[in-house]
Amino acid sequence: MKRIQYFKYGSPEELSLADVDQPKPGRGQILVHVKAASVNPMDWKIRSGEMKMMSGSHFPRGLGHDFAGIVESVGPDVDQFRRGDEVFGATTIRQAGAFAEYVVADTKTVGLKPSNVPFEQAATMTVVGSAAWLGLIAKAKLRAGQSVLITGCLGGVGRSAVQIARMQGAIVTGSCGASGRDEAQALGVREVNDYRAFDIGSYRRRFNVVFDTAGALSLRQCGAMLKKGGMSLHIVPTPAKMIGCLLSSRHHLVFANPTPESFAGITEALEQGILVPAIGRVVPLSEAIPALVELEKRGVPKG
Ligand SMILES: NC(=O)c1ccc[n+]([C@@H]2O[C@H](COP(=O)([O-])OP(=O)(O)OC[C@H]3O[C@@H](n4cnc5c(N)ncnc54)[C@H](OP(=O)(O)O)[C@@H]3O)[C@@H](O)[C@H]2O)c1
Q: Is 14 within 8 Å of 85 (Cβ atoms)?
A: no
Pocket test for ligand 1, best of 38, 39, 40 (most atoms within 8 A of CB): 40
Identify which of 109, 90, 149, 139 has the alpha carbon closest to the alpha carbon of residue 253.
139
Q: Are strands 102-106 and 29-38 parallel, antiparallel or unpaired?
A: antiparallel
- If you average pLDDT over residues 260-269, what whole number do you get? 96
pLDDT digits (tens, 9 = 90+) for 192-217: 999 999 999 999 999 999 999 999 99
**What per-residue confidence (pLDDT) applies to 275?**
98
Please indicate whether residue 156, judged by its CB atom, sits closer than 6 Å to ligand 1: yes
Kindly state if the Cβ of 215 falls inside 6 Å of ligand 1: yes
Check pocket membership of 37 for ligand 1, CB cut-off 6 A: no
3-state secondary structure of 270: helix
pLDDT band at 67 (very low <50, low <70, confident <90, very high): very high
Fold classified for 127-253: Rossmann fold (3.40.50)
Q: Find residue 33's DSSP bridge partners.
A: 70, 102
Kindly report the protein residue whose alpha carbon is nearest to atom 41 of ligand 1.
177
Average pLDDT for the chain? 97
Cβ(138) – ligand 1 distance below 6 Å: no
Residue type, 52: K
How confident is the model at residue 281, as a pLDDT?
96
Tell me, what's the pLDDT at 177?
Answer: 96
- Is 260's C-beta closer than 6 angstroms to any atom of ligand 1? no
CA–centroid distance, 34 to ligand 1, in Å, is: 25
Which residue's CA is the closest to the ligand 1 atom numbered 38? 177
Identify the pLDDT of residue 99.
Answer: 98
Domain ranges of the chain: 2-124+279-298, 127-253
pLDDT the model gives residue 8: 98
Q: Of 57, 56, 44, which is closest to residue 99 (Cα–Cα)?
A: 44
Name every residue whose Cβ is closer than 8 Å to that of residue 209 and which is 6 or more positions away in sequence.
Answer: 136, 140, 142, 146, 147, 148, 149, 170, 230, 231, 232, 233
Residue 288's SS3 state is helix
Other C-beta atoms lying within 10 Å of the C-beta of residue 302: 14
pLDDT band, residue 221 (cuts 50/70/90): very high
Band (pLDDT 50/70/90 cuts) for residue 255 is very high
Q: Mutate which of 157, 183, 212 to test ligand 1's pocket (most atoms within 8 Å of Cβ)?
A: 157
Q: How far is the CA of 11 from the centre of ligand 1 (A)?
A: 20
pLDDT, tens only, 6-56: 999 999 999 999 999 999 999 999 999 999 999 999 999 999 999 999 999
Contacts of residue 240, Cβ cutoff 8 Å, sequence gap at least 6: 218, 219
Contact 40, 66 (CB under 8 A): yes
Segment 267-278 mean pLDDT: 98
The three state secondary structure string of 92-128 is CCCCCCCCECEEEEEHHHEEECCCCCCHHHHCCHHHH
Q: Which CATH number fits domain 2-124+279-298: 2.60.410.10, 3.90.180.10, 3.20.20.370, 3.40.50.1580?
A: 3.90.180.10
Same-fold call for 2-124+279-298 versus 127-253: no
* First-last CA distance in the chain: 28
Q: Is the CB of 235 inside a 6 Å radius of any atom of ligand 1?
A: yes
Q: Reading across the β-sheet that carries 110-112, which strands appear in turn?
A: 102-106, 29-38, 66-74, 86-90, 110-112
